[in-house]
């Protein structure tokens, strides 16, 4: 059975994942500058890899892409890629490749279900696919780190803090007030969005993924499926879908 390589390029780091028979065999995070070296190392370790897919919201160079195309049968995810759902987004060419992959994972793992995918990373994205396999769109808002950074960057005196769960809703210092505002703001936003969707779709499946999954999942009021590998799994399904 073939192995498949997933290359998920972010702004600073790249996730590399190897799948075999729908099972994640290997996952690592590497620096953008090291991606070719690390991919070649995986190529030697897993000789069965024949196909690969690139999802890039970052800055992978054309020369790096060319090198990768010499190593594998390479699919570059974009708005022209064949997808296993009906895309009703009004501006399909501007839909992020990461969001495409998340929706693909949803329709594969939760077929014929109304599904809301929440990706809590640099941005928090909300993507909704209905039981008719139609992607309707969603929302984009600032993630935890972006909110901390904006408070520091756009004010004169507020410090840049590391993400931390506040002990109380009432901050009794500048630092605790920032933690309360940022973290409770995100939690209330997510719970509020879920409640709004549930009013319209009673049989709603909710998935939480992204870098802040573990931090947020236990604090949310709603029942969710937490899966930090959901995007990688979606990219794998797209690659398989385009290999038929």
pLDDT per residue rounded down to tens, the chain (244 residues) = 679 999 999 877 899 999 998 999 999 999 988 999 999 999 999 989 989 999 987 678 889 999 999 999 999 999 999 999 999 999 999 999 999 999 999 999 999 999 999 999 999 999 999 999 999 999 999 999 999 999 999 999 999 999 999 999 999 999 999 999 999 999 999 999 999 999 999 899 999 999 999 999 989 988 899 999 999 999 999 999 998 7
How is 72-131 classified by DSSP, letter by letter?
SEEEE-STTS--SSEE--SSGGGS-HHHHHHHHHHHHHSTTSEEEEEEESSEEEEEEE-T
Question: What are the boundaries of each domain within the chain?
Answer: 3-76, 86-234
pTM equals: 0.93
Q: Buried b vs exposed e over 51-62: b needs ≥16 C-beta within 10 Å?
A: bbbbbbeeebee
Helix or strand or coil: residue 222?
Answer: coil
Q: Which of 34, 64, 73, 98 is catalytic?
A: 98
Q: At what angle do helices 185-200 and 144-153 cross, to 10 degrees?
A: 130
Is 191 marked within a binding site? no
Is 97 marked within a binding site? yes
Is 12 marked within a binding site? yes
Q: Is 98 a catalytic residue?
A: yes
Is 98 marked within a binding site? yes
The alpha carbon of residue 142 and the mean position of all alpha carbons in its chain are separated, in whole angstroms, by 14
The CATH architecture assigned to 3-76 reads 2-Layer Sandwich (3.30)
Is there a contact between 110 and 205 (Cβ–Cβ < 8 Å)? yes
Would the CATH topology of 3-76 be identical to that of 86-234? yes
Topology, domain 86-234:
Nucleotidyltransferase; domain 5 (3.30.420)
Is 9 marked within a binding site? yes
């Amino acid at each position: 059975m073939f192995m498949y390589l997933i290359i998920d390029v972010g702004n600073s780091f790249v996730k590399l994942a190897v799948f075999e028979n729908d099972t994640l065999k290997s996952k690592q995070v590497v620096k953008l500058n090291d991606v070719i070296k690390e991919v070649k190392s995986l190529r030697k370790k897993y000789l069965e890899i024949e196909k690969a897919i690139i999802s890039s919201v970052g800055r992978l160079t054309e020369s790096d892409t060319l090198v990768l195309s010499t190593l594998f049968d390479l699919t570059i995810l974009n708005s022209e890629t064949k997808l296993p759902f009906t895309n009703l987004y009004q501006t399909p060419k501007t839909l992020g490749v990461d969001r495409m992959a998340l929706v693909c994972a949803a329709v594969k793992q939760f077929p014929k279900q109304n599904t809301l995918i929440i990706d809590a990373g640099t941005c928090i994205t909300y993507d909704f696919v209905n039981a008719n396999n139609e992607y309707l769109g969603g929302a984009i808002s600032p993630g935890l780190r972006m909110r901390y950074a904006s408070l520091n960057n756009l004010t004169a005196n507020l410090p840049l803090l590391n993400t931390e769960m506040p002990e109380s809703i009432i901050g009794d210092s500048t630092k605790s007030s920032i933690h309360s505002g940022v973290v409770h703001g995100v939690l209330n936003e997510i719970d509020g969005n879920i409640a709004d969707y549930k009013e319209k779709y009673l049989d709603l499946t909710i998935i939480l993924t992204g870098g802040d999954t573990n931090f947020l999942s236990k604090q949310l009021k709603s029942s969710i499926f937490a899966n930090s590998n959901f995007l990688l799994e979606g990219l794998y399904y797209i690659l398989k879908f385009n290999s038929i």
